[in-house]
Amino acid sequence: MKETDLILSKLPYQKPFLFVDELLQIDENEAKGTFTFDEKLDFYKGHFKDNPITPGVILIETMAQIGLVCLGIYLTLNEDVSQIAFSSSEVEFLKPVFPNEKVTVFSEKVYFRFGKLKCKVRMMNSKKEEVCSGTLSGIIIK
C-alpha cells in the first residue's frame, strides 16, 4: 500500500464528512491534497438560498483534514496515537468556493512539539487563485 493511501485509510472520517479526495504529496514538513465540492452535498441546499456557496466552516474543515490531520497521521505513523483533535484556527476568506469546484490545499508545518501540531495552510481554486489561508493547530492524543 502506498504511504498516501495508508494515511487516507487512517482518517477518522467518512462520507458525507470526508473532505479529502486525494493526497498528492506529504513529508515531515508539508502536505498537499485535493477535494471537489460535489453540488449534491447537503449544505448547498440552504447556504445560500438560490445562490449556493461553500460555508467557511467547511472550507476550514477541508484545510484541517488535508493540512493538519493527514500531516499529523504522517508524523505519528510509528506511534500509538488514538486521534488528532482540532484545537484552533485563524483563517482569512478571500474568494467564494462554488458547487463542483475542485480545490487544492497546501500545508506547511510551523512546529510539532509536545503533542501539538501547528500549520500554515492555504486553499487554491482550479484557477490557482487563493480562496482562503491561515493557521490551524491540533493536539495529538495518545
Annotated active-site residue in 10, 47, 118, 120 = 47
Q: Which grid coordinates belong to 40?
A: 449534491
> Residue 98 belongs to what H/E stretch?
none
- Cα–Cα distance, 90 to 15 (Å, whole number): 26
Q: Is 47 a catalytic residue?
A: yes
- Burial (Cβ within 10 Å: 0-12, 13-18, ≥19) of residue 49: exposed
Question: CA-CA distances (angstroms) from residue 10 to 47, 65, 67, 69?
Answer: 30, 11, 14, 10
Tracing cell 498516501 back to the chain, one arrives at 4
Contact 115, 51 (CB under 8 A): no
The catalytic residues are: 47
